Amino acid sequence: MINFTLGEEHEALRKTVQEFAREEVAPVIGDFYERGEFPYEIVAKMGHMGLFGLPISEEYGGMGGDYFALCLALEELARVDSSVAITLEAGVSLGAMPLYRFGTEEQKQTWLPKLTTAERLGAFGLTEPGGGSDAGATRTTARLDGDEWVINGSKAFITNSGTDITGLVTVTAVTGVKDNGRKEISAIIVPSGTPGFTVSKKYSKVGWSASDTRELSFADVRVPKENLLGEQGRGYAQFLSTLDEGRVAIAALSVGLAQGCIDESLKYVGEREAFGRKIGEYQAIQFKIADMELRAHTARLAYYAAAAKMLRGEPFKKEAAIAKLHASNAAMDNARDATQIFGGYGFMNEFPVGRFYRDAKILEIGEGTSEVQRMLIARELGLR
């Protein structure tokens, strides 16, 4: 029989992160959000807890857990705040995991002990200003000049790329042309502070206001040829693998936001009165919350299923796309319904649901738009 009950270790982790989110994050994150300030102290505490090293082996300073453990942590954090959750997701899934999956032993020993403790954050430079979902249209270039890569180009919407503790950005760049005429794309590690590597000021964003997102530019940036991550010309395949894992993580984060909307709505409808009754006694409100629970529950099952196939080493591209698509839609719909339940108060920044509403939309865009997820699902079904 299928058993959806969490094992002891996973349940203990979930409860630990839930307690941290409620006691350490929830009381202060609203102020960080409104100021657009990165929560360094919270990130440091998460580093001390080992959250940034959950799926990485102890050999490199990690916790020796699995990717599902990271997903559980993301869900619990996002029940309270998505800026903190995306900082963890990007730091692990996009910052550390490419190094862990494809790095040389020297690269792993150099970077992972710092990334797993959040002493440093890593970022993944894929998206470009004119590229968007068309990652294959990469224009950033890297050419070998003796023993160095010379990188020129720009990247957009890169999370964790400009904090005071950012240590590196892994950049995808065109390094040649294949026999079939297509671009050869490789991944190259660029340490922060490298001459010619410029980080713009933070974007003014609709949501995720306490996270770090920036545009990057590279003007004759030189790094050693040993900074190549994985095989030359395999960068495209590597980042597709990275994104498959990341979509499961974003699905978990989306479920957290969807569940947070339910949590806040249940508290509010038990207190708010209208026409002489608690509004939770009205069937219209009850049905709305029932629909919210339906979305969160099924989205959770979707990311559980995708994570299970990933951990078993089975192909999970379709399941990851389904989970990401369904969970991000659930987050957006639940945020809209929660805001409606709160009425005018839902439009006020002092209430978490207002923050949830602002944070939800990007989940249908980042790490593959909803349209891209539908395209991937169709392809996995054999439709070309």
- Among the residues of the chain, which ranges form H helices? 8-20, 26-35, 40-49, 67-78, 82-89, 97-102, 105-115, 235-269, 283-311, 317-342, 352-360, 370-380
Six token digits for residue 329 = 């839609």
DSSP for residue 6: P
DSSP for residue 228: E
Rounded-to-integer distance, Cα 237 and Cα 17, Å: 33
CA dihedral 117, 121, 124, 129 (to 10 degrees): 160
Judge contact between 161 and 122, C-beta under 8 A.
Answer: no
Among 23, 58, 367, 380, the one annotated catalytic = 367
Six token digits for residue 148 = 């160095």
Rounded-to-integer distance, Cα 376 and Cα 384, Å: 10
Query: 337 to each of 149, 270, 286, 330, 331, how far by Cα in Å?
Result: 50, 16, 12, 10, 10
Six token digits for residue 339 = 């805001």
Determine the distance from the C-alpha atom of residue 309 to the mean position of all C-alpha atoms in its chain, rounded to a whole number. Answer: 20
User: DSSP 3-state assignment of 253?
Assistant: helix
Active site residue 11: no
The residues assigned a catalytic role are: 367
